[in-house]
Amino acid sequence: MSEKVLLDYGSGGRASQRLVSELFLGQLGNDELNRLNDAAELQVSGRIAMSTDSFTVDPIFFPGGDIGSLAVHGTINDVAMMGAIPRYMTCGYIIEEGFAMDDLERIVTSMGKAAKKAGVSVVSGDTKVVPKGAVDKIFINTTGVGDIIVDPAPAGDRARPGDAILLSGTMGDHGLAILGTREGLEFEAAVQSDSAGLNHLLVKLVQELPEVHVLRDPTRGGLATTMNEIAGSSNVCCELNETDIPVRPEVSGGCSFLGLDPLYLANEGKFLCILPEEHAEKALEIMRADELGRDACRVGTVTDTNPGKVVMVTQLGGKRLLNMLEGEQLPRIC
Amino acid sequence: MNIDLIKEFRDPELCKGLLETLDRELDDELRFMEVCGTHTVAIFQSGLRSLLPDKVVHLSGPGCPVCVTHESEVNAFLDLAEHDDVIIATFGDLMRVPGHGGRNLKAAQADGASVSVIYSPFDALKLAAENPDKTVVFLGVGFETTAPTIAATMVMARKQGLKNFMVLPFHKTVPTALGALLDDASTRIDGFILPGHVSTVIGMEPYEFIATDYDRSAVITGFEPADILKSLVDMVRWRNEGTAKVTNNYRRAVADTGNAKAREVLYSVFEPCDALWRGIGLIPGSGLKIRDEWTDMDAIVKYGIEITEVPPLPGCRCGDVLKGVITPDQCPLFKKVCTPAKPVGPCMVSTEGSCAAYYKYKVD
Ligand code: SF4
């Protein structure tokens, strides 16, 4: 194959067939995908969770991951947050003409590895090559489906006063890794994205504790935005303790340098769990037993004092709102 | 700054002790005003506001330079942006400040005006050098903190022989405004938390009139919770002793005498003049204009700009907020018509504005 992705590869002719059979099937292939039918034939029964997401991240390779693995993690995490076992996913690639074939291989390989690790089959896919400038390097759209295994499924409107708010780990790692790479900044200690598939841990959690009320991954907009969404849809107050929210020292250092707040930065391998107080300890135990939940901790409590609001109890013991972000968080360029 | 030092000033135990002292020694209401927007944010962000004893009345003052930029000044730079040969160079915080009819620089830019957001005034010089057929006008908004850098930029422009760099001078000076507030019968202020950054330049002396002429206390204060609490405790003690003082509690950053070098460059280019403050009106001697020797860089002279009072935005009570007559949540538009996404007044625009801080942080 040539070293660059040409428009021909998206033509539907021989060149596209070669790209599909040599690269995509090589890395993502499975019985269903290999049949190359117009649609996949799947076994699903009962209630399913389905989620789609488009990945346009820049840079496409970043410390701790790349757009391929990120697309898998993002989608299966969203499915798993519904108390579901993600089983199948689709992927659509939109590639800019002239994109380096080596980079595409790296991305598809990484996607294949991530899907395998998560135990999810890629059962349908699509590749388009568009003229230079029509997209920025590469965009990937993925859709995932899975069987919901708890009833009722965890949902953003089920937080109740008295519930405990738990967090599976440190905040802001992914967002800062991306911004740091984009701005060409080198931090004292390397900041890695936390991009990871959380489905195995989440499935274990809901199997043992079907009482979980809310599961959410604080991706874009970070913890602050996600908490506000939950407080709004459940019409409760989420009270968080500033000192309990874990942030890596290198992340808080990088953030204060850039004038950013880690609580508004994206995470791609963390989740929030809200559940009745009496199950909190058990949930933390399950989370901490898994590599991806090692730093899990309790960060707050759901109350009925200020419905719809997120209140932060500060280090001093004072209270303030933790609001949604107005517009985008822009780094201060020093 | 040394991280350990900052930690020390945030120490919850230290703050708790100071809060208890404050509560114990306060037997009458203390109405204090923090002049500077960075203090406003620090008081909210640390949660300090919610911990202050009820008798402590917290007022936010006119210390956010964006907030006090008068509507007519905003109109002046919006008019200037219309000139085809002008590139406006500004710090980002002025982009959304509303002028007449809610128009702002962002809208002007979308309509085709050349507006360039820069991070240092020296970038404006680069911009001028790269665009010899245009005039780059830097919007000189701010207090004594930023004015010396602008002055230094003008000195540099002359050295470089740049003929197409100008400044629109709307700088304001803090102590003069405090005097005007104390003279205003509608305000009731017992003491001031004085700005850390402005004071690094001007030192303590220009504030001394607050104690000698008005019998009120004022303390130059750092931005950590313990800094602020310590200054409040000091002011309560002096009042209990029947005296008023002006002191410097921020010696780790501010010399009592300020920074003579910065003042020298500042006053080599600028001299005091009358200025209009948003919501407050004309305060004699509270502005900085460009000296005659530097008129060639004065955009007011070159473009014949006249600053005249224009009617304030209807309904907006920014003036009363800036004077500490009301708190932002007492403005009828607060959170209803006026939000950070759709600001009516500048206090809701600036990240350091008091209305924005109340909106963002205050738990009802
Ligand atoms: S809430 Fe809006 S209108 Fe009212 S004083 Fe503040 S900025 Fe002005």
Q: Which residues in chain A have their CB less than 8 angstroms from residue B363's CB?
A: 306, 309, 311, 319-321
Interface mutation target, options B50, B119, B229, B349, chain A, most CBs of A under 10 Å: B50
Of A107, A123, A148, which residue is a domain's last?
A: A148
Q: In which band, very low, low, confident or very high, does the pLDDT at B213 lie, cut at 50, 70 and 90?
A: very high
Give yes or no: residues B237 and B346 share one domain. Answer: no
A122 Cβ under 8 Å from any chain B Cβ: no
- In angstroms, rounded to a whole number, what is the distance separating the alpha carbons of residues A11 and B32? 72
The total number of residues written for chain B in this structure = 364
Over chain B, what is the mean pLDDT?
Answer: 91
Cβ A315–B12 below 8 Å, yes or no? yes
**Which residues, at least 6 apart from B304, have a Cβ–Cβ distance to it below 8 Å?**
none
- Domain region containing B269: 1-307
Give yes or no: residues A127 and A168 share one domain. Answer: no
Which residues share a beta bridge with A300? A165, A240
Q: Which residues in chain B have their CB less than 8 angstroms from residue A318's CB?
A: 46-51
In a domain, A91, yes or no: yes
Per-residue confidence (pLDDT) for residue A10, from 0 to 100: 76
Per-residue confidence (pLDDT) for residue A333, from 0 to 100: 42
Q: Average pLDDT, stretch A33-58?
A: 92
Higher pLDDT: B108 or A259? It is B108
Q: Is the dihedral of CA B151, B156, B159, B162 positive or negative?
A: negative
Of the candidates B12, B119, B364, the beta carbon closest to that of A316 is on B12
Give yes or no: residues B347 and B278 share one domain. Answer: no
Q: Distance, CA B329 to ligand 1 centroid (Å)?
A: 9
pLDDT digits (tens, 9 = 90+) for B20-47: 999 999 989 999 999 888 899 899 999 9
The pair of structure tokens assigned to B222 is: 């750092």
Give yes or no: residues A313 and A246 share one domain. Answer: yes
- In angstroms, rounded to a whole number, what is the distance separating the alpha carbons of residues B355 and B327? 8
pLDDT digits (tens, 9 = 90+) for B87-121: 999 988 888 888 877 788 999 999 999 999 988 88
Which of A256, A244, A232, A258 has the alpha carbon at shortest distance from A300?
A244
Q: Average pLDDT, stretch A78-93?
A: 96
Long-range contacts of A326-329 (CB under 8 A, 24+ apart): A326/B340, A326/B341, A329/A260, A329/A261, A329/A264, A329/A265
CATH number at residue A269: 3.90.650.10
Higher pLDDT: A188 or B195? It is B195
Which of B181, B177, B219, B195 has the alpha carbon at shortest distance from B42?
B195
- Domain region containing A38: 7-148
Q: Distance, CA B316 to ligand 1 centroid (Å)?
A: 5
Please say if the pLDDT value at position B210 is more than 50: yes
In a domain, B313, yes or no: no
Per-residue confidence (pLDDT) for residue A184, from 0 to 100: 74
pLDDT digits (tens, 9 = 90+) for A284-328: 999 999 999 999 999 999 999 999 999 999 999 999 999 987 766
Check residue A327 and give left, alpha or beta (phi > 0: left; psi -120 to 50: alpha). Answer: left
Give yes or no: residues B296 and B345 share one domain. Answer: no
**Which residues, at least 6 apart from A126, have a Cβ–Cβ distance to it below 8 Å?**
A90, A91, A92, A93
The total number of residues written for chain A in this structure = 334
- Decide if A333 contacts A183 (C-beta within 8 A): yes
Q: What is the residue type of B360? A: K
- In angstroms, rounded to a whole number, what is the distance separating the alpha carbons of residues B231 and B247? 9
Please say if the pLDDT value at position A256 is more than 90: no
Give yes or no: residues A172 and A315 share one domain. Answer: yes
- Please state the domain count of chain B: 2
A2 Cβ under 8 Å from any chain B Cβ: no
Complex ipTM over 0.85? no
In a domain, A333, yes or no: no
- In angstroms, rounded to a whole number, what is the distance separating the alpha carbons of residues A138 and A21? 20
Which of B157, B152, B108, B95 has the alpha carbon at shortest distance from B128?
B157
Which of A243, A223, A199 has the alpha carbon at shortest distance from A87?
A199
Q: Are strands A121-130 and A138-148 parallel, antiparallel or unpaired?
A: unpaired
Q: Is the dihedral of CA B295, B300, B303, B304 positive or negative?
A: negative
pLDDT digits (tens, 9 = 90+) for A146-160: 999 999 999 999 999
Q: Which is the closest atom of ligand 1 to the Cα of B345?
A: 7
Give yes or no: residues A27 and A126 share one domain. Answer: yes
Which of B81, B97, B95, B34 has the alpha carbon at shortest distance from B62?
B34
Per-residue confidence (pLDDT) for residue A130, from 0 to 100: 94
Q: In which band, very low, low, confident or very high, does the pLDDT at A45 lie, cut at 50, 70 and 90?
A: confident
**Which residues, at least 6 apart from A116, have a Cβ–Cβ distance to it below 8 Å?**
none
Q: What is the residue type of A310? A: V
CATH number at residue A144: 3.30.1330.10
Q: Which of A73-87, A151-165, B135-149, B349-363 has the lowest mean pLDDT?
A: B349-363
Of B307, B335, B350, which residue is a domain's last?
A: B307
CATH number at residue B293: 3.40.50.11740
- Give the predicted TM-score (pTM) of the model: 0.85
